Structure 1
Amino acid sequence: MEAFNNGSRLADYEMDGAGLIGRGKFSVVHRTRRKRDNKRVALKKIQVFEMMDSKCRNECLNEIKLLQSLGHPNIVQYLDAFIEDNELHVAMELAERGDLGGLIKRAASAGTPLPEGHVWEYFVQIADALRYMHSKRVMHRDIKPANVFIMDTGVLKLGDLGLGRYFSSKTNMVHSTVGTPFYMSPECIQGSYYDWKSDIWSLGCLLYELATLRSPFFTEGLNYYTLGKKINKRAFEPISGAFSAELRGLVDHMIQVDPAHRLDSEAVYAVAVQRVGSSFSTPGMDGGASTGVPVPMAS
């Protein structure tokens, strides 16, 4: 455990006046300032010693080291990690403008669909992040709008790369029921073995939600058993014909019950890049991943 510490201390960070960002069962996230360079960061405090035995803890700490090694403009950067007062502290980039889930909720409340050009510009950034992760043989396992964060520049970054889940369950990279039920693949919700294609299902659900402003499998009052049946039957309403055949087709090729019939992350990214470079591209933007697009501010 001591080997994990790198000399950083809680005293190196100062709580921002804006305070609390979020809270989980075993964790809390605060908006803080790193004193040495005045950089504003999100500091996640995890009660790691209350969750698991030492073997699982060490596995999770190794996972954090892996996440720190990922470097991509559309992935939230893990800046620092240290243990103090029997708690794990992880410093990450701060998303000043919230997350994609909030953006979708605001659009839904206003009854204003996202323009298809913006949908592609948002999606290509997420697809590029996942393509990179898969190339490094890292699965995300909880892709959803709430885990896509919006930087001050408007750039989207895929985040929450397993930290909460690894610390709340004994995980095996290919056989563990983790994630958010509405975005779970059939094989994952069944508790079966799964691979990279499980992330593709979740990414397809995210693209569907960008277009429709709702999760493909969400219904009021739905229980876990009924949700599982809907997912296994691939029962969701078609996307409006107001969106292009390419977008609807891409969703169709991602939300496939048989993982072998889903596109891989490279193919998904290739389609997204092509669409961003088409007439749907947002005026004034140069296209491609890591490029911010106009993002409505929270009211």
Structure 2
Amino acid sequence: MPLSQSDFTTIRHLTAEREGGFNQGIVLVRHRRTSTLYIEKRVSTQAIRTGHAAREARALRTCSHPHIISLVFADLDPRTHGYGSIYTTYCELGSLDGLISRLARRSTYAPEGFLWKLLFEMATALCYLQTGLKSSRDAMNGQPVTARQRGWDKILHRDIKPGNVFLTSHRQSTHSAYPTLVLGDFGASLMERDAQSPLMTAWTKPFAAPEEPRYTDTSDVYSLALSVYCLTTLRQSPGRRESVRNDPAPGYSRELRGVLGRMLRTRPEDRANVGYLPYLVWREMAVVKREREAGGIRSESLPSWALVRTG
């Protein structure tokens, strides 16, 4: 039986309702029959009229990846409520910017193992968006991705930032003590078929690549590196780019700093591309792991107080 907006009941608003613009608020909802929690993103009539909401729903509907948020249902007819709704899976541990805030309040830095997990899982998500291929196994076998799934419509996210990276224990591997990272909020995304021009106004300017307003295949790579930098420094915004490039991961390993440096190069063509990035991250992460094991250094966990359920 098809879903409808009436199948969900509001639990609470996670963001303030906004007037104007495309986003009318983020709401935690419960499915009436199954009691499963979901996220409802309310989109304005303007977003529906301009096609932005349809593009977001189409991009999400295209994707099936463990580190990309899953579309549950979309109703873009505003006649009943005055807005449309996009329902997605719920990540109960909140977003990366919330984790950064909690760590910063206690001046506690994230363990390097978590940074590598964040980088690798987001790298595989970006690779999937542009190629349609799941790259984890290839990366572990020492193979970069050099092809694209036949007929795949490349997707650029265009708004990578800590607030759009979510954490959950529901998809957590039994081999990891860390939560799983999931990329969400595709409101600024663009599929290849929709691209009219490579020019854009940065959606979240502090995380935009140097080439903006031009947008390239490695712009998301640059924004991901800035997001990781925010976690390494416990900041909500990366600040001056010169400081970021000089030391993209202060206090962490040479290998981690090297990977972020490859992602932060000024010229788009000099950065690690999305097919190479998962391989690069896995290779350098393995080097650090071997060195730590040889030195008898055990992996650290994130403190339990840093992981707070939002529902």
TM-score by length of 1: 0.76
Partners of 1:160 and 1:53 lie apart in 2 by 16
Partners of 2:233 and 2:250 lie apart in 1 by 11
Partners of 1:73 and 1:195 lie apart in 2 by 25
Partner of 1:271: 280
1:207 to 2:228 alignment = yes
1:43 to 2:7 alignment = no
Q: 1:70 aligns with which of 63, 74, 80?
A: 63
Partner of 1:148: 165
Partners of 1:95 and 1:27 lie apart in 2 by 20
SS at match of 2:28: strand
Instruction: Give ranges in structure 2 of 5+ residues lacking alignment.
Output: 133-153, 171-178, 293-300
Partner of 1:15: 10
TM-score by length of 2: 0.74
Deviates more, 1:88-97 or 1:59-68: 59-68
1:256 to 2:280 alignment = no
SS at match of 2:119: helix
Partners of 1:152 and 1:215 lie apart in 2 by 23
SS at match of 2:58: helix
Paired AA for residue 262 in structure 2: H
**Cα contact 2:230–2:238 (8 A) shared by 1:** no
Distance 1:235 1:279, change over 3 A: closer
SS at match of 2:251: coil
Paired AA for residue 86 in structure 2: V
Q: CA deviation at 1:271?
A: 2.1
Distance 1:43 1:186, change over 3 A: same
Partners of 2:95 and 2:48 lie apart in 1 by 33
Partners of 2:207 and 2:30 lie apart in 1 by 34
Q: Describe the superposition over 1:113-158 as per-residue Cα deviations: whole angstroms up to 9, x where unpaired.
A: 1111121122211111111112141011010111101114321100
Q: 1:34 aligns with which of 8, 26, 31?
A: 31
1:243 to 2:243 alignment = no
**Cα contact 1:182–1:215 (8 A) shared by 2:** no
Root-mean-square deviation over aligned CA pairs: 2.8
State the number of aligned residues: 258
**Cα contact 1:120–1:275 (8 A) shared by 2:** no
Paired AA for residue 104 in structure 1: I
Q: Describe the superposition over 1:58-113 as per-residue Cα deviations: whole angstroms up to 9, x where unpaired.
A: x6414412321200001111110012524211111112111111111211221111
Q: CA deviation at 1:171?
A: 8.0
Instruction: Give ranges in structure 1 of 5+ residues lacking alignment.
Output: 1-5, 219-229, 284-292
1:184 to 2:205 alignment = no
**Cα contact 1:74–1:158 (8 A) shared by 2:** yes
SS at match of 1:161: coil
